């Protein structure tokens, strides 16, 4: 149906990108909605591949970019497509420096593109709550990286002191294998509760270990736990083995790459990892399309990102 985006040459020119994006946004062009007057119906497609509303009181022009994160960007769509391709094809994500180099844009532009695309993908992702049986756990990562399962009996690994020594990754996964991972500053209830409430549907069955930080959950969820400190890993179908499995995948994916312990790096790796994990059954071209679709209605201006005018 759509061209396969599996090399940087898949879209030879700007028109190919525009056509592809139009087909993604409106598989049936009669579903097109005018961004100016809101009328729904096939627009005129002009010679320069832009749209013109057929509504006589409107007749205004627009492009395939209207209503997406590309709307106010002067960069060719082709550069954006390449950025999306590079971001989705690198397992560990891509740095803004590398992106700038690959695209032949300034580092500032590379940084801006990366953030805008990532923001689009992530915001969309968090809109759908986890449901069914959800496993929740945390893990610690050091700069080396040496991972350990969270040992809540060890007072040294609780609170702010622990956060300084090691970075804490908090993870949730549902029965369909949908994953959310966050870098958190500590494992206190006040930190974890808002994240869980925002992303796990009320009434879900939630499996954790026996940590005190999860006790509050019995009021909002069907909370069941395994007692890891007693050497218990599965009890009556209650387990956190899936989320632990995701953690160890993450660990393997960053071996040799995760040199710096900076929060920004860890977050970047985590989000790139989760995004790919949640699309692990997709082909590469499908993943590009998935990310392109996520750009709809998610504008993030340069000003909002940086506090500065224009770009
Ligand atoms: Zn119109």
- Which CATH number belongs to the domain containing residue 216 in this structure? 3.30.420
Structure tokens, 14:
């700007």
Does any domain span residue 83? no
Model confidence pLDDT, tens digit, residues 185-244:
899 999 999 999 989 998 999 999 888 888 899 889 999 998 877 777 777 888 899 999
Model confidence pLDDT, tens digit, residues 124-139:
666 678 989 999 999 9
CA of 71 to the centre of ligand 1 (A): 17
Does any domain span residue 220? yes
CA of 57 to the centre of ligand 1 (A): 8
Model confidence pLDDT, tens digit, residues 258-310:
555 466 677 778 888 888 899 888 888 888 888 888 888 655 455 555 555 54
CA of 290 to the centre of ligand 1 (A): 28
What is the pLDDT at residue 228? 77
What is the pLDDT at residue 304? 56
Does any domain span residue 88? no
Which residues neighbour 143 within 8 Å (Cβ) at sequence distance 6 or greater?
A: 258, 259, 260, 261
CA of 116 to the centre of ligand 1 (A): 27
CA of 260 to the centre of ligand 1 (A): 51
- The whole-angstrom separation of Cα 150 and Cα 229 is 10
Does any domain span residue 168? yes
Count of structural domains, the chain: 1
User: DSSP code of 204?
Assistant: -
Model confidence pLDDT, tens digit, residues 155-173:
444 445 444 557 889 999 9
Q: Write out the residue range of the structural domain in which residue 221 sits.
A: 133-260
- The whole-angstrom separation of Cα 54 and Cα 108 is 39
- On average, the pLDDT of the chain sits at 82
On whether the CB atoms of residues 54 and 32 are closer than 8 A, the answer is no
Element (H, E) at 183: strand 179-184
225 or 149: which leads in pLDDT: 225
């Amino acid at each position: 149906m759509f061209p396969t985006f599996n090399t940087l040459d898949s879209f030879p020119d700007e028109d190919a990108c525009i056509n592809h994006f139009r087909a993604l946004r409106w598989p049936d062009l009669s579903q097109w909605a005018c961004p100016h007057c809101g009328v729904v119906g096939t627009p005129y497609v002009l010679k320069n591949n832009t749209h013109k509303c057929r509504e006589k009181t409107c007749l205004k022009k627009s492009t395939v970019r209207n209503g997406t994160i590309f709307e106010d960007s002067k960069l060719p769509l082709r550069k954006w497509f390449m950025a999306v391709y590079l971001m989705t094809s690198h397992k560990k994500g891509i740095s803004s420096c590398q992106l700038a180099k690959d695209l032949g844009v300034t580092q500032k532009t590379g940084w801006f593109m990366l953030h805008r695309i990532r923001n689009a993908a992530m915001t969309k992702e968090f809109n759908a709550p986890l449901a069914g049986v959800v496993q929740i756990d945390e893990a610690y990562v050091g700069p080396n990286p040496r991972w350990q399962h969270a040992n809540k009996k060890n007072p040294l690994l609780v609170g702010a002191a622990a956060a300084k020594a090691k970075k804490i990754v908090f993870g949730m996964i549902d029965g369909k294998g949908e994953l959310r991972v966050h870098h958190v500053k500590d494992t206190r209830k006040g930190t974890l509760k808002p994240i869980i409430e925002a992303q796990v549907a009320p009434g879900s069955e939630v499996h954790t270990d026996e940590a005190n930080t999860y006790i509050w959950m019995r009021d909002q969820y069907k909370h069941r736990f395994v007692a890891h400190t007693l050497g218990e890993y599965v009890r009556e179908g209650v387990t956190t083995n899936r989320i632990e499995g995701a953690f160890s995948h993450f660990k393997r994916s960053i071996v040799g790459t995760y040199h710096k312990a900076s929060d920004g790096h860890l977050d970047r790796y985590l989000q790139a990892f989760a995004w790919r994990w949640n699309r692990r059954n997709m082909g590469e071209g499908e993943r590009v399309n998935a990310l392109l679709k996520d750009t709809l209605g998610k504008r993030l201006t340069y000003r909002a990102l940086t506090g500065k005018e224009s770009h």
